[in-house]
């Protein structure tokens, strides 16, 4: 509890000093003001477009931009994020407004704000990354299509009677739209869309949006085009009754709408702040802090009679690209919007078609066609979730669509979790069939296991079936029982079974479901398989083991990590040079949890670093120089291990030779260290040898110079082959201490 209070106090002080205090300083004032002016060039047209899409008076959207902008900037978790009404939420808010009026909008805003604050307090922000991409893409694309449908009447300047923005309603009203295909409104819409699409290639996006308003307004004024203006729309003052909740019809469904707005607003916010992070400006945002800030903003906006707000990607990116340095730019932009809101007469001259053009441009962007094509190419099951959710949304409504998508996603995930796959490979001698089990072995695995049994029994040359558990994620009782039954059947046909490398959980389930004599053998290492085969009179092919491993690597890892492999093909940039022993019990990438391309590895007998000599012909000096000078490595780890055979031999033989040529000469490099400090036994010899190799490394002139000036770090670690633990040499305690 004390630690939590200290941590909270630290975070609060850090927030006040680094985030709020700079608002009141003169530093960066000019750049923040300029960024604020760029922001309003985007924020005002977008806010007005949202008001058109939702169907509310444009004052409500401006209230949201002003109040939400200030509160989001002050209380949010992103320094340069900007809060306001979002086009992405307009379709959902339009449904709420049509069904429940102003009171419904305000009610939803309050509930959304409360849920966001609770989510931030209970640290739910990190869960956003677990939402299926296919579902988010379907939701966004569906909203884009519905937004396009919803904007069509204002695009064509017609009045149509609809019960909602769905594909069926659009088809019903195609006749109305065809008659106005060549109207002035359509021309203004197309011009606005063209400006938004083309001008950002040549000028900043903020000014492109300003041009997208000014140019059409000028054309309408000088050419005297007969198109409706904003001031021709009915501007009623919202009448909000917050206390009389009972007067709201279907409160239960309104609560569902509130939850959906909360989810969409939160995802949009976290997407926006993540985009700011990717631009590399300022510190990374705190997602939970950001949710609390958005919750406060939505409650404040609702109490002022506005529509729900969220962090907006476009506004935030404009803020960053305009050079904003502090939260002040978002605050100034919100205050300017508040000022314009009370002197808004000139806004009335903006054609409705301009705002419709902004809506249609946003709708096409939200459809995310390139991402959909990529999803289709990458994952057919995720694409199935996308297409069904998308079609449900555009043919019914958002609530039904998202519920259908979630249900389908859970079903597909469930099938994936229950599905198993056996990869079969005959060895060269055709007497051994290796089966790599992947996924999950469950009641749904019966057919796959039966197929394996059929192949093993049919081929008279097969005498061993090796079931590999290395890539098997889960094993339930039904799956284990089916597998054991298969081994019983194989035994009747004189085929022996081996369960290779099951983990502790696998073994528990297997043993719990073995009721009679076990017709299988369990192996953990490859040499145990070798012994079993040779005892039975069959040869063990090490080459086949390697080929089997390559097959698994190519079909699984390489296939799933093609982007990483393609990137590394352009060049390597490892972060660490690792000098370690050749011992087969050491797997550096495994115990460092490192991916390919991260560690430059030098392996030899006894993790030796030969001392630097100008005429040194050892390969180690070449590897060290290449890693540091050419690859830019600035971290070196020399890793020894317990039960080291090289250290044992060096300690036991003393000054005597073992009778080898190369090995005896090589071990002299270890014995030289023992002459400086003699170990009491070979266990101590491991650590003495390791520290001696560190000193040898420092004899390299460039290494020593960089180490002395803190340009390079050197670590001495010992891997314990008994426990898998790693020990690190501590200069302060003059001893090896556990890293974990």
Dump the DSSP string for 82-136: -EE--GGGHHHHHHHHHHHHHHHHHHHHHHHHHHHHHHHHTT-GGGGGGS-HHHH
Model confidence pLDDT, tens digit, residues 638-674: 999 999 999 999 999 888 888 888 898 899 999 999 9
Q: Which two three-digit tokens encode residue 322?
A: 């305009």
Distance CA 600, CA 595 (A): 11
Model confidence pLDDT, tens digit, residues 682-705: 899 999 999 999 999 999 999 999
Q: What is the rounded average pLDDT for all residues in the chain?
A: 83
Model confidence pLDDT, tens digit, residues 169-199: 666 666 666 776 777 888 898 999 999 989 8
Q: How many CB atoms lie within 10 A of CB 238?
A: 17
Q: How many CB atoms lie within 10 A of CB 589?
A: 13
**C-alpha dihedral, 517 to 523 to 527 to 530, nearest 10°:** 40
**Considering only CA atoms, which of 195, 206, 155, 182 is closest in space to residue 359?**
155
Element (DSSP H or E) covering residue 645: helix 645-653
Burial of 464 (C-beta count, 10 Å sphere; 0-12/13-18/19+) = buried
Distance CA 150, CA 689 (A): 75
Residue 1's pLDDT band (cuts 50, 70, 90): very low
**Considering only CA atoms, which of 349, 299, 332 is closest in space to residue 38?**
332
State the pLDDT at residue 479: 82
Q: Which two three-digit tokens encode residue 466?
A: 């090796």
Distance CA 439, CA 475 (A): 9
Q: Which two three-digit tokens encode residue 531?
A: 């012994």
Q: What is the reported pTM?
A: 0.58
State the pLDDT at residue 368: 81
Model confidence pLDDT, tens digit, residues 477-498: 888 888 898 899 999 999 999 9
**Res 220 pLDDT > 90:** no
Model confidence pLDDT, tens digit, residues 526-552: 889 989 998 998 888 788 788 877 877
CA 318 vs CA 68, 81, 173, 265: distances in Å: 17, 10, 38, 19
Distance CA 567, CA 425 (A): 31
Q: Which domains does the chain have, with CATH numbers?
A: 29-378 (no CATH), 419-552 (3.30.750.24), 570-738 (3.40.1050.10)
State the pLDDT at residue 143: 80
Distance CA 250, CA 260 (A): 16
| pLDDT > 90: percent of the chain | 31
Span 323-340, average pLDDT: 91
Q: Which two three-digit tokens encode residue 342?
A: 């009370």
């Amino acid at each position: 509890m004390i630690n939590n209070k200290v941590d909270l106090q630290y975070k609060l002080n850090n927030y006040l000093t680094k985030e709020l205090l700079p608002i009141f300083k003169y530093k960066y004032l000019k750049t923040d003001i300029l960024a604020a002016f760029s922001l309003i060039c985007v924020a005002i047209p977008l806010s007005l477009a949202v008001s058109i899409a939702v169907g509310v008076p444009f004052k409500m959207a401006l209230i949201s931009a002003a109040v939400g902008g200030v509160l989001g900037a002050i209380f949010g978790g992103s320094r340069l994020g900007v809060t306001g009404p979002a086009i992405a939420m307009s379709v959902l808010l339009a449904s709420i407004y049509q069904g429940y009026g102003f009171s419904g909008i305000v009610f939803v805003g309050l509930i959304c704000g409360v849920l966001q604050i609770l989510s931030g307090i209970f640290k739910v922000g990190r869960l956003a990354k677990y939402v299926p991409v296919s579902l988010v893409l379907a939701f966004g694309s569906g909203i884009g299509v519905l937004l396009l449908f919803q904007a069509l009447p204002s695009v064509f300047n017609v009045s149509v009677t609809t019960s909602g923005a769905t594909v069926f309603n659009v088809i019903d009203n195609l006749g109305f739209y065809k008659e106005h295909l060549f109207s002035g409104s359509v021309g203004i819409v197309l011009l606005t869309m063209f400006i938004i699409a083309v001008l950002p290639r040549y000028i900043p996006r903020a000014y492109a949006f300003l041009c997208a308003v000014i140019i059409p307004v000028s054309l309408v004024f000088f050419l005297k085009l007969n198109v409706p203006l904003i001031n021709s729309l009915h501007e009623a003052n919202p009448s909000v009754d917050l206390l009389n909740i009972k007067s709201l019809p279907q409160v239960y469904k309104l609560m569902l709408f509130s939850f959906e707005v909360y989810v969409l607003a939160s995802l949009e916010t976290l997407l926006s702040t993540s985009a700011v992070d990717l631009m590399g400006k300022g510190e990374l945002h705190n997602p939970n802090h950001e949710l609390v800030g958005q919750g406060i903003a939505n409650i404040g906006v609702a109490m002022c009679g506005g529509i729900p707000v969220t962090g907006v990607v476009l506004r935030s990116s404009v803020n960053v690209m305009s050079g904003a340095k502090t939260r002040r730019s978002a605050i100034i932009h919100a205050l300017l919007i508040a000022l314009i809101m009370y002197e808004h007469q000139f806004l009335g001259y903006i054609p409705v078609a301009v705002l419709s053009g902004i809506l249609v441009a946003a709708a096409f962007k939200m459809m995310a066609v390139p991402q959909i094509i990529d999803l289709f190419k990458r994952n057919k099951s995720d694409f199935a979730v996308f297409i069904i959710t998308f079609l449900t949304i555009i043919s019914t409504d958002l609530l039904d669509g998202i519920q259908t998508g979630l249900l389908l996603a859970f079903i597909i995930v469930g099938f994936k979790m229950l599905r198993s796959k056996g990869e079969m490979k005959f060895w060269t001698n055709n007497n051994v069939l290796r089966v790599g089990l992947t996924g999950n072995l469950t009641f749904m695995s019966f057919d796959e296991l039966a197929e394996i049994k059929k192949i093993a029994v049919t081929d008279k040359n097969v005498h061993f079936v090796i079931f590999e558990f290395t890539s098997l994620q889960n094993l339930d009782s039904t799956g284990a029982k089916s597998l054991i039954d298969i081994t019983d059947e194989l035994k009747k046909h004189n085929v022996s079974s081996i369960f290779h490398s099951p983990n502790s959980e696998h073994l528990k389930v297997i043993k719990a479901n073995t009721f009679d004599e076990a017709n299988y053998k369990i192996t953990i290492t490859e040499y145990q398989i070798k012994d079993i085969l040779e005892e039975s009179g069959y040869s063990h092919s090490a080459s086949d083991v390697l080929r089997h491993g390559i097959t698994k690597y190519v079909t699984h890892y390489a296939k799933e990590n093609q982007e990483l492999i393609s990137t590394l093909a352009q060049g390597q940039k490892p972060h660490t040079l690792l000098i370690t022993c050749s011992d087969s019990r050491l797997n550096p990438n495994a115990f460092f949890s490192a991916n390919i391309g991260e560690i430059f590895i030098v392996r030899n007998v006894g993790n030796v670093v030969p001392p630097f000599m100008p005429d040194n012909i050892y390969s180690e000096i070449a590897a060290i120089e290449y890693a540091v000078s050419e690859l830019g490595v600035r971290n070196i780890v020399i890793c020894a291990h317990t039960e080291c055979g090289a250290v044992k031999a060096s300690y036991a033989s003393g000054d005597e030779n073992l009778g080898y040529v190369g090995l005896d000469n090589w071990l002299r490099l270890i014995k030289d260290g023992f002459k400086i400090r003699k170990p009491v036994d070979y266990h101590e010899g491991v650590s003495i040898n390791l520290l001696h190799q560190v000193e040898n490394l420092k004899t390299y002139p460039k290494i020593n110079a960089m180490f002395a000036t803190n340009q390079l770090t050197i670590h001495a670690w010992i891997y314990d082959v008994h426990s898998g633990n790693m020990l690190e040499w501590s200069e302060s305690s003059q001893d090896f201490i556990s890293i974990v």
